[in-house]
Amino acid sequence: MAKSSSTGSAKKKKSKGKINKKLSSLNSDSKKIKGPKENPFESIWSRRKFNILGKKRKDDERRRIGLSRSLAIQKRQKTLLKEYEQSTNAKRQLKLKKKSKFNLSDGEEDDFEIQGGGYFPERDDFEDDEPFYGDYYDDELPDGRNKRQFNPHEAEGDPDSRSAEEQNRPKTKKEVMEDIIFKSKFFKAQKAKEKEESEQFTEQLDKDFASLVQSEALLSLTQPNKMSALNSLVNNRNSNDAAKKEVAPRMHNKVSIQHEKPDHYDKLVSEMALDMRARPSDRTKAPEELAQEEKERLEQLEEERRKRMAAGDGDDSSNEDADNSEDDVGEVSKQISHISGDDLGDSFSDVIPKTKAVWIDDLLTKNSVTDPEAEDDPTSGEEENDNEEDDDDDDASEDEEGEGSEESSDEDEKAQPLKDSEQSDEEQIDLEDEEDDDRDDATGKKVIMENQKKILVTKGNQNNDSGAFRVKPIVKEDVHKRGELPYTIEAPKCFEEFSALLENYSDDQVVEAIRRIRTYNAIAVAAENRKKMQVFYGILLQYFAVLSSTKPLNFKLINMLVKPLMEMSTETPYFAAICARQRLLRTRTLFCQDISNTGKNCWPSLKTLFHMRLWSMIFPCSDFRHAVMTPAILLMSEYLMRCPITSGRDIAVGSFLCSMLLSVSRQSQKFCPEAITVLQTILRAALTNRQRYEASQLCHLMELKALKPLLHMQERVEDINSLDFLTLMDLPDDSPYFTSDNFRASILCAIIRCLKGFVDINEGFKSFPEIFLPIAKILDGLAEEDLMPDALKVEIKDVSQVIEIKSEEFQSLQLPLRIRKQKVIKTAIPKFEDNFVKGRDYDPDRERVERKKLKKQLQQEARGAVRELRKDNHFLFEVKERDKARMQEEKTEMYGKYRAFLQEQEHAFKSGQLGKNKKRRR
Amino acid sequence: MASVASEKKKQKREKHTLSELKAMGQQLLTSRAHVNNLPLLLSFITPNSPPPYALESLLSLQSFFTPLIPQLPSSSKQPDADPDPEFIYLTWLRSKFDELTQCLTDLAVSSQSDGALREVVLDSIMEFVKVGNAGKFNTSVYHKLLRAIVGLIISSVVRSELGVDDIVLDMLAEKYFNYVDVRYFTCSSFEKLARTLEKEVDKIVFSLTENKEVSQDVNDLVLRPSIELSIQKMYKLLACIQPLKDVEEKLEMWNDSGISSQDKEGKYKKSNDNVLSSKNAAKKMKQKFTKAWISFLSLPLPLDVYKEVLVTLHQSVISHLSNPIMLCDFLTRSYDIGGVVSVMALSSLFILMTQHGLEYPNFYNKLYALLEPSLFMAKHRSKFFQLLDSCLKSSLLPAYLAAAFCKKLSRLALFAPPSGALVIIALVHNLLQRHPSISFLVHREIGPDTTADTSAENNTPDGASKDLFEEKPGIDHFKNEENDPRNTNAMRSSLWEIDTLRHHYSPPVSRFALSLANDLAVRSRIPEIAVSDFSSGSYATIFGDEIRRRVKQVPLAFYKTTPTCLFSELDFPGWTFRDDHQDTSAKRKRVDSV
């Protein structure tokens, strides 16, 4: 570089004046040139050749060192060099100022300046040289790369390419022939090989088949009689195997002959052909598709129902069919293929085009005629989806044939205005339905009551059809009223609509209606259904609430609602949670109002309890924090803590709440102080006064709620029945049952069992003895009582013993808390890390790690800084060196010049030409 | 005689119409000649007379008397031997005026009469009070009024049956207690009333002790409720009295002449009544206020009033008393009662102790005794917990005390609602942070060497009892029932309860307990927790927090098969869930078939 610069400077020197003027323009020119043409070193990528284990790869692993170096140099030129120049300029100027006072410019300075400015042009010259190489490399490098990429292929010797090459040149005849021979040989060999393989494969298959036959899987699939045939076949084969193996290689040709003979296997195959053939199974459908299909099916069914209703002539044929297939119906519904065999006579040709759905429908119309009691079948509503469809269909369609469709349609028309009027009435009444639960309960009750009346009436009818002549008209009317469920039901928009919809239907039909609404408006079918279904979910929840606050309670229907509610919650979990939270909030505000009204019983109603239970089933109870369950548990606990226990009914509700809390906290083994406290309080109510006093001395903690001896046994009770929750909740506060000893014994029994549950789930707590020992003392007191039934005594003793044993265990094993972190004792045992990664710091002391990291960073930075400084220095040094060299050169040049001049002078002087020669020299 | 008079009155009333009454009033006002209308009009001012009549006559009489009052001689003055007829007339007027005020107070106090009328009556009484005593505040009338309102006229047959929330009380408090002098005189007359009431109560108690068998139940039934009622009313009025601020620019007076001029003793009588510095007034007011409260507090207060008093005392009363220490008798008495009352007394007592230098022996023992489960449902628990925290702030407390408090509180947490548990965790956290000396509660090493020592020491009887803890480390030696923190053995225990709370069902509690444990694990000091953040918690706040929390995701319970019924008997041992509906229908079936 230095050399080039010197030569450059030499060049420039010749045209000093011009350069001075053109400097700037040249500079810009050079930049223009510089842009496209690159330093060849910059385009070189440093590639990593080997992966080094445990070494982290930095950004993309490929770096262009040349580029970064030249970038750094450029940067320095922009910054450092400028600074340097400025400083030198300033110095010079200073010098200049000092000198210029006295000195005239002798041209030397100018020279210097020119040279300094001439640095860039020098560089430019250098750059000018570059493209020479650059072009070369630019062209060369990618090629090289390509070559390298292609190399492996070439090494492999790609046949295509080679053949292509070969094809290019004309082939000789010999070569062609050889080729053909080679090909035929090749194909023959291949054929033989394939044959061998297929033989091996069949052998393998045979073996597999034998093992399959012996296994259970096939047994379950095929019919038993065929199984034996299969077995025998396999056995035969096994015995023949040895012989066959010898024969096989020799007699390839005979295999075909063997095939012609009727074999066991062939027989079996022909037999199996009659069996249900395995059809290619449909691909598993996406849930959306399934929902869509379901919806379409319902639509089709509805359409057909309407058709039948309008025409009314399809009935005859179906009736005929009914006679024929009466016996088979049960079987038919199980296996579809069989009907094709049985029904061959009349409608085989029809069977095939009919879709499955229509088939079922037909069958079911028959079924319904033959089996009028099907509707009463309690299981029909509860079966799983696939079976459900069938059974439900018969529910719906059962009545139409018997009564004739015209009447029913008339009835429908009549019923419609009636319903409307009712609906409008209701709307007037419960405008605030959504807000006020009590009210909707009240109106809902009306609806339900009507519903139930009808149900009762119908039940009566069915039971009485043997005698009772007066029943007949009612039967007719009833059937009209109930009508049939439409297959496609739009999701109702409000509760009134829903209750109007369900007005005349039985429980099973209600559930079926819900199911149909759900399938028809399934979310998977259309996105806008989500909103509909959410509304419907709200309505259903309201229906649940209404049902649970009606009297008499239709517990069966409530139970049947549980499943759809749970399933719908899975579809719209977020909405379900919001609903639940809103209800919880409302329940709590009502509860707060109640509790501020002294004298009002504020224990939760049946409805609240049902809701709590429903939510605890829908949502997981064991979550640390759940959007619904956490407030629900809190509310239950609050009930327990704040409601005063004044009567036997309160005790019943309280202890039931306790068992609900138990079931909720069982899985997560949480600690519910409220429940345990209430249990303890209630148990104390069973003690005599004297004992109670003693107990209160023992655990003076429990003065929170002192109870009257509500549960103290007055007389001896022999048998302990488990309490029926629903009837209990139905009884009024002052019912004599609550003061009966029967109740006392049973509730004590329930409480003891609940307590047992709590003991079981809380056994891991460190203060187990403190929590349960006072209870054990009360239990001991209870066990001592004479009037206590023996069975109960046993249970009481059992629980108290469990508590005592566990407490003792605790007290002997438990250690005081050691929460403070232990100081780590140094060990000599090395610690091994799984999945050790090199470079990661495994130091357990976080602070030290942090410190180390910082130190390392500091070191890195310092090193970087030093490096930069060094490079800066180097750069500056280079620049200075260059300047110096240039100066030196100039100096020597000048020196030479002057010296030459002087020598000339001297020579002239010596030769005596001084003065004389002057003319000549010029 | 009286009956005859009343009969006459009745006849009169029947005779006179409203317009006649009006005319009579006009006549009375126009000339002295018709002064005989006065008694007639007076006779209408009774609770029994119809409101329009009473109103009419009241109006006339008021306008008749208002200009005359300054001239009237004091009723106590004995008539001279040689009476001037004018003077006799005035004396007669005076007696009529007294009669009028008496009637008016009766009317105002009687609960039968119309509300609006009573308001008017009260207004007019207050008017009379304003100018009643020779242009100055008429204390006696006012005193009588208050007396009547409070219902302390033992001698009279007609007892005041005014309810606590009667309009007269409300009106008095609203309208007239703005005036400084009214307040002042209320205070002074309350002081007197309280004294008389106390005597009354003493008498009753005395009579009870004297002849128990005679009239105990009568007393109980009649007197006690009435006394309680009057105490309640007194309290209500007293609580309404706003004590003066020390520096008050402008004093609103009912009567322009100010307070000191009305002072009966005349000790403070000054040359110019109207120039009364507000500071002086405030001072006097303070004194009266203090006296009224002190004498009121010496009454046997019924429980509900007692609680309210305790609430108002520290909020608005103590700071305005001239000498708050005077309350210490009352407060210590109430602090000794125990239970909720003590809890409530604590806040006032705390003020006395911290700001007025009261020393209370066995304060901590009593504080310790207050820690009961009922605390967590008490209404004023928030204040109590904060006070408890500040009472235990001193690092000079002995370790045994701090340990006992820690242990007792955490025991309570086992039975407390979640809000209580939160407070307790905060309190315990603070205690443990303040008193490094009780860190053994959360961390105790039991080395092998110590057990060896104990086995050696076991031979000596002393050692056996001393090292009970080391011998059986699992037993909690803490005596929960012990009321003296010195004897609770808390030093030999460990805070297992905090560990138990980590399993609490309420997420804030369990999380807080966990964070406490984590904090304690680190040896470095951690700033104290502000108890006030938790002290006002309740089920409502925790529930509200949970409900307000944004629902981010809603996981659902997973079942292999969706359950089809609400309750399974497996989950609820001891309960059955028969289908009631089916059952009844089955019954019906049976009935039908029969």
Is A767's CB within 8 Å of B444's CB? no
Mean pLDDT of chain A: 69
CA distance B364 to B346: 11
Mean pLDDT of A846-868: 92
Q: Which two tokens stand for residue A206?
A: 């045979």
CA distance B148 to B449: 81
- Of A281-295, A400-414, B340-354, the one with minimum mean pLDDT is A400-414
How would residue A30 be classed by pLDDT, with cut points 50, 70 and 90?
very low
Q: Which residue of B has its CA nearest to A643?
A: B377
How would residue A191 be classed by pLDDT, with cut points 50, 70 and 90?
very high
Contact predicate B40/B24, CB 8 Å? yes
From the CA of B14, how many Å to the nearest CA of chain A? 49
- In a 10 Å sphere around its CB, with 0-12 CB exposed, 13-18 middle and 19+ buried, how is residue A1 labelled? exposed
Is B523's CB within 8 Å of A821's CB? yes
**pLDDT at B276 (0 to 100):** 52
CA distance B66 to B127: 8
Is pLDDT of A75 > 80? yes
Using a CB-CB cut-off of 8 Å, the residues of chain B touching A772 are: none
Contacts of residue A692, Cβ cutoff 8 Å, sequence gap at least 6:
A684, A709
**pLDDT at B458 (0 to 100):** 40
> Looking at chain B from residue 422 to 481, which residues have their Cβ under 8 Å from any Cβ of chain A?
439-446, 472-476, 480-481
Specify which of A57-66, A682-691, B1-10, B385-394 reaches the highest per-range mean pLDDT: B385-394
Contact predicate B168/B125, CB 8 Å? no
Looking at the DSSP bridge assignments, the partners of residue B136 are B133
How would residue A690 be classed by pLDDT, with cut points 50, 70 and 90?
low
Contact predicate B201/B152, CB 8 Å? no
Is A630's CB within 8 Å of B506's CB? yes
Give the domain ranges of chain B: 12-356, 392-548
Looking at the DSSP bridge assignments, the partners of residue B133 are B136
Nearest to A202 by CA among A143, A259, A137, A118: A259
From the CA of A705, how many Å to the nearest CA of chain B? 9
Q: What percent of chain A has pLDDT over 90?
A: 9
Is pLDDT of A351 > 50? no
Establish if B554 touches chain A: CB-CB under 8 angstroms: yes
**pLDDT at A651 (0 to 100):** 86
Contacts of residue A147, Cβ cutoff 8 Å, sequence gap at least 6:
none
Mutate to test the interface with B, among A727, A814, A819, A847 (most CBs of B within 10 A): A819
Higher pLDDT pick, A617 / A115: A617
User: How would you write the pLDDT of chain B (594 residues) with one tens digit per residue?
Assistant: 444 444 444 445 555 666 777 777 777 777 666 777 777 777 766 666 666 777 777 777 777 777 666 666 655 555 555 567 777 777 777 777 777 777 777 766 666 666 677 777 777 777 777 666 555 666 677 777 776 666 654 444 344 455 555 666 666 666 676 676 677 777 777 777 777 777 766 666 666 555 544 444 444 455 556 666 667 777 777 776 666 554 444 555 655 554 444 443 333 443 344 445 556 666 777 777 777 777 777 777 777 777 778 877 777 777 777 777 777 788 888 887 777 778 778 888 888 888 887 777 788 888 888 888 878 887 788 888 988 898 888 888 888 999 999 999 998 888 888 999 999 999 999 998 888 888 888 887 765 444 434 433 344 343 334 444 455 667 778 888 888 888 888 888 888 888 889 899 999 999 999 988 888 887 677 788 888 888 888 889 999 998 988 888 888 888 877 777 778 777 787 788 775 444 444 433 333 443
Query: Of A574, A750, A811, which has the smallest distance from its Cβ to B573's Cβ?
Result: A750
How would residue A232 be classed by pLDDT, with cut points 50, 70 and 90?
low
How would residue A197 be classed by pLDDT, with cut points 50, 70 and 90?
very high
**pLDDT at B560 (0 to 100):** 78
From the CA of A554, how many Å to the nearest CA of chain B? 5
Is A623's CB within 8 Å of B543's CB? no
Higher pLDDT pick, A337 / B575: B575
Helices (H), A404-506: 405-429, 437-464, 471-482, 495-501
**pLDDT at A587 (0 to 100):** 92
**pLDDT at B211 (0 to 100):** 52
Q: What is the CA radius of gyration of chain A?
A: 51
**pLDDT at A228 (0 to 100):** 63
Query: Of A665, A749, A815, which has the smallest distance from its Cβ to B473's Cβ?
Result: A815
**ipTM, interface predicted TM-score of the complex:** 0.70
> What 3-state DSSP class applies to B136?
strand
Mean pLDDT of A95-123: 50
Higher pLDDT pick, A232 / A331: A232
Is pLDDT of A865 > 90? yes
Is A619's CB within 8 Å of B505's CB? no
Q: Which residue of B has its CA nearest to A672?
A: B505
Is pLDDT of A815 > 90? no
> What 3-state DSSP class applies to A819?
coil
Specify which of A60-74, A369-383, A746-760 reaches the highest per-range mean pLDDT: A746-760
Is B551's CB within 8 Å of A581's CB? yes
Is pLDDT of A129 > 80? no
**pLDDT at A196 (0 to 100):** 93
Query: Of B417, B498, B503, which has the smallest distance from its Cβ to A669's Cβ?
Result: B503
CA distance A263 to A418: 74
- In a 10 Å sphere around its CB, with 0-12 CB exposed, 13-18 middle and 19+ buried, how is residue A49 labelled? exposed
CA distance B316 to B308: 12
CA distance A507 to A556: 8
Single-letter residue type at B13: R
**pLDDT at A311 (0 to 100):** 60
Contacts of residue A234, Cβ cutoff 8 Å, sequence gap at least 6:
A209, A210, A213, A214
> Looking at chain B from residue 503 to 522, which residues have their Cβ under 8 Å from any Cβ of chain A?
503-507, 510, 517, 520-522
Q: What is the pLDDT of residues A259-283, one digit of tens each?
A: 556 667 777 777 777 766 666 666 7
- Of A39-43, A806-810, B105-109, the one with minimum mean pLDDT is B105-109
Q: What is the pLDDT of residues A714-741, one digit of tens each?
A: 777 767 777 788 888 888 877 888 888 8
Mutate to test the interface with A, among B546, B570, B577, B590 (most CBs of A within 10 A): B546
Is B588's CB within 8 Å of A460's CB? yes
Is pLDDT of A859 > 90? yes
Is A725's CB within 8 Å of B494's CB? no
Q: In Å, how far from its chain's centre is CA B358?
A: 23
CA distance B52 to A612: 62
CA distance B207 to B416: 46
Using a CB-CB cut-off of 8 Å, the residues of chain A touching B540 are: 592
Q: What is the pLDDT of residues A451-481, one digit of tens each?
A: 444 444 444 444 444 443 343 443 344 444 4
Higher pLDDT pick, A34 / A286: A286
Query: Of B493, B504, B547, which has the smallest distance from its Cβ to A631's Cβ?
Result: B547
Q: Which residue of B has its CA nearest to A705?
A: B374
Contact predicate A905/A914, CB 8 Å? yes
Mutate to test the interface with A, among B412, B525, B554, B583 (most CBs of A within 10 A): B554
- Of A68-82, A393-407, B104-118, B430-444, the one with minimum mean pLDDT is A393-407
From the CA of B544, how many Å to the nearest CA of chain A? 9
Phi first, then psi: what are they for B505, rounded to 5°? -70, -25
- Of A39-43, A833-837, B128-132, the one with minimum mean pLDDT is B128-132
Is pLDDT of A625 > 50? yes
Is A573's CB within 8 Å of B554's CB? yes
Question: A–B: how many Cβ contacts below 8 A?
Answer: 275
Q: A442 to each of A62, A544, A559, A824, B485, how far by Cα in Å?
A: 78, 13, 21, 69, 58
Contact predicate A507/A455, CB 8 Å? yes
Q: Which residue of B has its CA nearest to A792?
A: B574
Is B539's CB within 8 Å of A641's CB? yes
